Chains A and B, each alone.
Chain A
Amino acid sequence: MIFTELRFILLFALCWITFFAVPRRWRSATLAVFGIVFYAIFAGPSVLGIVLLLTLAAYVRAPALMFVIVLIIAKVPDAPWIVPLGLSYLTFELIHVVVERRRGRIAEMSLTDLLAFVFFAPARIAGPIKRFPQFRDAVAAAELSADDVYAGVLRILLGLGKKFLLADVLALTVAESEYASSMHQAWMVVIAFGLQLFLDFSAYSDIAIGFARTLGIRLPENFNWPYLAANIREFWERWHITLSQWVRDYVFTPLGRALFGTRLRPYPGAIAAISYLVTFAIVGAWHGLEPRFVLWGLYHGALLAIFNLWRRHVPSSDSVARRVLGIAVTFFFVTIGWVPFFLPLAKATHMWALMFGIAR
C-alpha cells in the first residue's frame, strides 16, 4: 500500500510543510511539483512522461474521445504496455476538464492549476474522482488549521483500521472461494467479498480524504453506508459516489437527452432503460475490459431500469418496515452481482449455482 510506505509519508510531510510555508499563490505549484515527484518515484519516469503528455493534451483542449481511446487501450487485459498508476481515475478527471472547458464552465485555467489537479498525490492512487473548479477553489482557500490536521489524521487512522483490521481479514474468507462446495460457504464467501470490497475501497478513499484534509483541502466523499441503501438507485448514490456522479454528468444525462431527440421520445421508460444499460456497461468496462465486468455493469443497469419502471407504478413509502425490506432486497441483489466482479465467468456460474442450491 503506497500510503503506508515511508517514502510516501516523508514526501507528503515535505509537501505539507512547503505548502504552508510558501506564499498562497505558489501553493498550486507546490502540489504540482510534489505530485510529479510522487509520480516519478512510484510509477517511474516513462509513466510520468505519459501522464504529462495527457495533461498537456487536456490543457490544449484535445478532444475527449482521445482520452476515451487511451483508457480503452490501457484497459486491455494483460496488455504488454505500461499503464500509468490510477489511469482510470486520471482519464475521467481529464475528460471532465476538457468537456467542462468546451461547455464554458471552466473559463480560465492555468497549466500550474491543472498540474496540481492531475498530480494531487493522495487522490492519484484510487480516487476520489475530483472536479477541477472545486479542487482549485479548495487549494486557494486552504488554511493551516489544527482542526483539519486532527480530522485528517483521524480519517487516515480510520482508513488504516478498515483496511488492515477488517478488509484484510475478510480477504482470507474470500480466498476460500476456491474451496467453496456448499450453499452456506458460497453465500459466506460472496457476502465477505461485498464487505471486503466496500471496506477496502472506502479505506483508500478515507486515507486520501484524510491526507488532503491535513492540507485543509476537502476532497469529495466516495461512500455513504452503501449497504444501508433501500433501493438500487439509492445504492448508487451511496457507492463510489464520485464515479456515479461522473457517469451521470458525462454519460447518462447526455445520452438520455440525445435519445429524447429520437423516435423514442414518447417512451421515457425505454429511454431510461437504454441510458442505464449503456451507462453501466461503461461503468463495468471502466473496472476492467473483460466480459465479466461488463456483465456486472449490465446487471446493475438492468436493476436500475427495472427499479425505474417499478417506481413509476408503485408509490414510495416512508414506513420503517418497507425501508428494512428495501435494504435487505437491495443487499441481496447487490451481493449476487458481486460474483462476476471477483470470479472469472466460468467460476462465477458455478458460484451462483452453489448459492442457489443448483450445484454441489
Chain B
Amino acid sequence: MKVRRLLFAILWLALIDLFIPPLLQRAEYARYETGAVYRFENSDLFALGPMVHYLREHPRGPRRRTMFLGNSVVFGYGLETRDALPAQFERIAGDTRVFNAAVNGAESGDSFLLGKAVIDSVDTLYVQLIRRDGARPILGMLIPVDDTDARHYGLDRLGPIEATLRSMLGRVWHLYGDNDRLQAALFGTSTRQYFYLHKRELLLAIVGRASHVAPETPRSTIAVSLSQRNGILGLPRPLLDLAEVAKAHRKRLVILDFQQRVAAAGFNAKYAPYAELVSIDVPPALRFDTMHLTPAGANAVAAALVAHERERAP
C-alpha cells in the first residue's frame, strides 16, 4: 500500500512536470515582455538570476530593451513600482521595454557583472555611478560569470559536482530545474518574499476588503539638467571595464552620476558613441532625503534622460 502511494506521488510529479515548460514560457513572457511596468517585487537578488537567464535565452524581444542598474536610488526606494525612475522612463520613452534591475545596496562591481551578463540581450544600459566597487558574492551562484571575474570579486561558486548534478537533474525534472525561474516569473521575487510583502493585501482580499490604491504619479514642475561636469574623481574600475564591454559589443551605456564629482570629458571622448557619462543635478526639492528621489524627482530625471537620448539620435 505504501509503495503504491509512493509510486502514485512520483506519477503525479511526472504529470505535473509536463506542464512546467509551457507555464514557464507564458509566465516569463508576461513578466519580462508584456507587463505594464517591470520591477522586481522586492529589491532582492533572488529574481536577478532568472531574469538574466531569460534575457540570455531570448536576446531579442518584441521591443527595444533598456536596463537600469544601480542601488536604491534607481530601484525607487520608498516609491510605488510605477513611480520609480525606470518605470517613468518606460512610460515617457514609449518605445522601449525597461528592466529595473537595481538592487538596494548594490555596488559598481554588481553592475559590471550584471551588465556584462546581459550585454548581448539589451540595447541600452543605464548604470548609476556608485563609488564602492565591490560585488555581492552570491551573484556568482545566480548569473553566469567567468572565472577571472569570480576570482577578482571573490564570488561564491557552486562546486563542480553539485553544479553537474543540478544541471543533470534539472534537464529531466523541470519543476526542480526551473523552480527559481518559475517563482521569479510568477511573483517577481521568491514566493516567500511575495507572501511576506503582500501578507496584508492577501489577508484583506480573504476578508473581502479593498486593498491599497496608489495615487497618480505627479509630474515634476522642476526640470532636471544633465551635463558633462569635469569633476576631480575618476570612474570606479568596474564601470570602466563595463564601458570596454559596451564598446566591444557595440551597445549603448549611459553612466548616471548623481553626485556630479567625476571627470566626464575624457571618458566621453574615448568611448563615444557607445558609452557616455552624464551628471544629473537633482534639486533638493525632488529628493525626500539626501539621495532618494521623490516620484516627481524620478519623473524629472526620466524626462531628462529620454530627452537627452532623443537629442542624440533624433
Contact = CB atoms under 8 A, between A and B. Distances in A.
Interface stretch (B21-29, B73-81, B191-199, B274-282): B191-199
Q: Which size bracket describes the interface of A in this complex?
A: 10 to 19
A14 interface: no
Nearest to B192: A169
Nearest to B194: A169
Given A5-B162, A169-B196, 18 more contacts: A6-B162, A6-B165, A6-B169, A7-B162, A7-B165, A10-B165, A146-B1, A146-B6, A150-B2, A150-B3, A150-B5, A150-B6, A164-B192, A165-B192, A168-B192, A169-B195, A172-B192, A172-B193
Contacts of B3: 146, 150
Interface in B184-202: 192-193, 195-196
A185 interface: no
A249 interface: no
Contacts, number: 32
Interface residues of B, number: 15
B166 interface: yes
Interface of B: 1-3, 5-6, 159, 161-162, 165-166, 169, 192-193, 195-196
A173 interface: yes
A172 B193 CA distance: 8
Contacts of A7: 159, 161-162, 165
A100 B88 CA distance: 71
A173 B165 contact: no
Contacts of B166: 6
A167 to B, nearest CB: 10
Nearest to A175: B196
Interface string A6-27: 1100100000000000000000
A68 interface: no
Contacts of A6: 162, 165-166, 169
A149 interface: yes
Contacts of B196: 169, 172-173
Contacts of B161: 7
A153 interface: yes
Would you call the interface of chain A mostly helix, strand, loop, or mixed?
Answer: helix
Nearest to A172: B196
7 contacts: A6-B162, A10-B165, A146-B2, A146-B3, A150-B3, A150-B6, A164-B192
Contacts of A172: 192-193, 196
Nearest to B170: A6
A143 interface: no
Which residue, of A5, A6, A147, A169, has the highest number of chain B Cβ atoms within 10 A? Answer: A6
Nearest to B168: A6
A177 to B, nearest CB: 15
A153 B159 CA distance: 27
Which residue, of A5, A164, A172, has the highest number of chain B Cβ atoms within 10 A? Answer: A172
Nearest to B193: A172
Contacts of B192: 164-165, 168-169, 172
B160 to A, nearest CB: 10
A153 B169 CA distance: 19
A7 B159 CA distance: 10
B74 to A, nearest CB: 22
Contacts of A147: 2
Nearest to A41: B161
A169 B193 CA distance: 7
Contacts of A149: 2, 6
